[in-house]
């Protein structure tokens, strides 16, 4: 009961914009839950306070109205790599800033390493919007071919030997 109530609260919080004209940033666990619950993809910004390009993105890229508009279809997650080394390690992040794009099931669909200005960030978001996980490109087609041709190959081998 309490778990269900917590999930409803997370969904409601995720649906409420942070403030007019700003992206609502989530902590990692909250963001992953919100992404799954709302069926929205996620963007994870891995940063460090001492990283100049990270600070430049925080001050110039993320507040840009074009970026805010494009990010509205995503759950935005910020990970301070100095505090959450476990998450940094989980995603294999070695350089900052790194932006990772996840599907609603939490599977990585893409990433960008390095500084992104507003225009580049908009293009990255558009590139990864609606994509499948990068671990499985073409899997469905390969599986279909497998189902079609394996019985034929097995029949051929049986007749030949």
Instruction: Extract the residue ranges of the chain whose pLDDT is less than 50.
Output: 5-7, 9-20, 135-147
The whole-number pLDDT of residue 158 equals 63
Report domain extents, the chain.
2-130
Q: Which of 10, 32, 43, 51 is catalytic?
A: 51
Q: Which of 10, 34, 43, 54 is catalytic?
A: 54
54 is catalytic: yes
pLDDT in tens, 118-128: 999 999 999 99
User: Are the beta carbons of 42 and 31 closer than 8 angstroms?
Assistant: yes
The whole-number pLDDT of residue 143 equals 42
66 is catalytic: no
Instruction: Of 67, 53, 57, 78, give the one whose Cα is nearest residue 124.
Output: 67
How far apart (Å, rounded) are the C-alpha atoms in residues 106 and 101?
9
How far apart (Å, rounded) are the C-alpha atoms in residues 139 and 94?
29
How far apart (Å, rounded) are the C-alpha atoms in residues 145 and 139?
10
Please state whether the predicted TM-score (pTM) of the whole model is above 0.75: no
The whole-number pLDDT of residue 131 equals 76
pLDDT in tens, 108-155: 999 999 999 999 999 999 999 877 665 444 444 444 444 455 566 656
**What's domain 2-130's superfamily in CATH?**
Glutaredoxin (3.40.30.10)
């Amino acid at each position: 009961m309490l778990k269900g109530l917590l999930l409803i609260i997370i969904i409601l919080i995720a649906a409420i914009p942070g403030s007019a004209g700003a992206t609502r940033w989530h902590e990692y666990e909250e963001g992953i839950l919100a992404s799954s619950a709302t069926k929205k993809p996620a963007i994870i910004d891995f940063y460090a306070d001492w990283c100049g390009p990270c600070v430049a993105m925080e001050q110039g890229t993320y507040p840009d109205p074009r970026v805010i508009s494009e990010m509205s279809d995503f759950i935005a997650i910020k990970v301070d790599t100095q505090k959450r080394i476990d998450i940094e390690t989980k995603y294999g992040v070695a350089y900052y800033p790194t932006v990772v794009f996840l599907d609603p099931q939490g599977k990585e669909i893409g990433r960008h390493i390095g500084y992104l200005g507003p225009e580049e960030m908009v293009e990255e978001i558009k590139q990864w919007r609606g994509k499948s996980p990068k671990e499985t490109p073409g899997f469905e087609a390969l599986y279909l071919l497998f189902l079609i041709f394996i019985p034929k190959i097995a029949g051929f081998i049986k007749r030949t030997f």
